[in-house]
Chains A and B, each alone.
Chain A
Amino acid sequence: MTTPTTFWRLAGVSYVQYVTKASSTVRAALKEPAKSKAMAQEGFVFNRSHWTDGKQGEKSLIDGLKKVGK
């Protein structure tokens, strides 16, 4: 692949992560009560497991985009 030209790719961030971070920043800049209502739209949590040869690996708790893919 050629050298990335967009700044988020240069920083090692995917477009989806960049969009999510941007929307999160906009939400954080809101005033109350709109802020707490909007912030509720970005919380999430799930468990992720990678499987090898039909065996489930260890579960990892994912509650932020920083933990995704690690």
Chain B
Amino acid sequence: MKMVSAAKLKGDEGRRTTAIAFNNWADALSGEPKLIEDATYEELPAKCLLVPICSDKGLCGGVNTFITRSVKNCIKALHSQGKDADIAVIGDKGRGQLRRVHGDKIKLSVTEVQSPGNFTLAAAIASELIASGAGDYDAIVIMYNAYKNAATYNQMYKVIKPFKGEGEAEPLLAYEFEPDTKSEVLTDLQEYLLTSQIYHSFMDGAAAEQSSRMTAMENASKNAGELIGSLTLKYNRARQARITTELIEIISGAAALED
């Protein structure tokens, strides 16, 4: 099983590398992804849509639990700051874990996603988010596992705020648009930015999931080996005990006949 995961990880790593190169431009507009571990979420606006990217399959360590726990902590932090958040969850495992605690906050769930993913899938998910009212939120927060190496992954989040076209924090203020339909161009760019960020997060998450599965399968094989060893020992002891008992019975019987 470890070998299977290792082979799949190679493919996921390749797709992740492609996605990083493709998504480089997005970080310049929406900022670098941030670590969830030391996040206070103070920079988030009043109404956010959290998009946790989880998987549909289990047996992959704590990949999904880390993300759902981050979502719970984020909602707790936002509530303490007087802010609100809804959830659009991707992945069946995330849906299962979040519905128990924050079922009332879930607005959309995307499950049984075909693997490996591609850009068209990201476009479909982004379009679903937009169709279910993602534009009404002050920010979309994507939470995902970021692959570091075959043994390590971190939980990161990306904040995608809508372009207003004016104000100090606006990244595209210095640009002029031709033809002069800035609001339309910004809407298009916003959609494409969301798609690109989902594409990258999905690929990063898939690689992290596969690396975690590889470690989990290695541990499972090791534990199964140990279990086989201990059970074989137990079986041999029982077998030996039976043989010894039979021998004693035969010897005792023979001795009784001699008497």
Contact = CB atoms under 8 A, between A and B. Distances in A.
Interface of A: 1-2, 4-6, 9, 14-17, 19-20, 23-24, 41-51, 53-56, 59, 62, 65, 68-69
Nearest to B106: A51
Given A15-B188, A53-B104, A62 B124 contact: yes
Given A19-B123, A51-B108, 18 more contacts: A5-B179, A9-B184, A15-B192, A20-B123, A24-B120, A44-B113, A45-B112, A45-B114, A46-B110, A46-B112, A47-B110, A50-B107, A56-B109, A62-B128, A65-B124, A69-B127, A69-B128, A69-B131
B127 A68 contact: yes
Contacts of B219: none
17 contacts: A1-B183, A5-B179, A5-B184, A20-B120, A42-B120, A43-B118, A44-B113, A44-B118, A44-B121, A45-B112, A46-B124, A49-B109, A50-B107, A54-B106, A56-B99, A59-B111, A69-B127
Interface string B79-122: 00000000000000001000100011011111111100111110
A48 B119 contact: no
Given A41-B119, A42-B120, A46-B114, A4 B184 contact: yes
Contacts of B132: 50, 69
A8 B187 CA distance: 13
A65 B110 CA distance: 14
Interface of B: 95, 99, 103-104, 106-114, 117-121, 123-128, 130-132, 179, 181, 183-184, 187-188, 191-192, 195
Where chain B touches its partner, the secondary structure class is helix
A65 B108 contact: no
B120 A44 contact: yes
Contacts of A6: 181, 184, 188
Contact of A19 (B106, B179, B192): B192
Given A5-B179, A43-B114, A48 B108 contact: yes
A39 to B, nearest CB: 11
A63 to B, nearest CB: 9
A1 B99 CA distance: 36
Contacts of A49: 108-109, 111
A68 B131 contact: yes
B184 A41 contact: no
B127 A14 contact: yes
B103 A16 contact: no
A41 B131 CA distance: 24
A15 B191 contact: yes
A16 B192 contact: yes
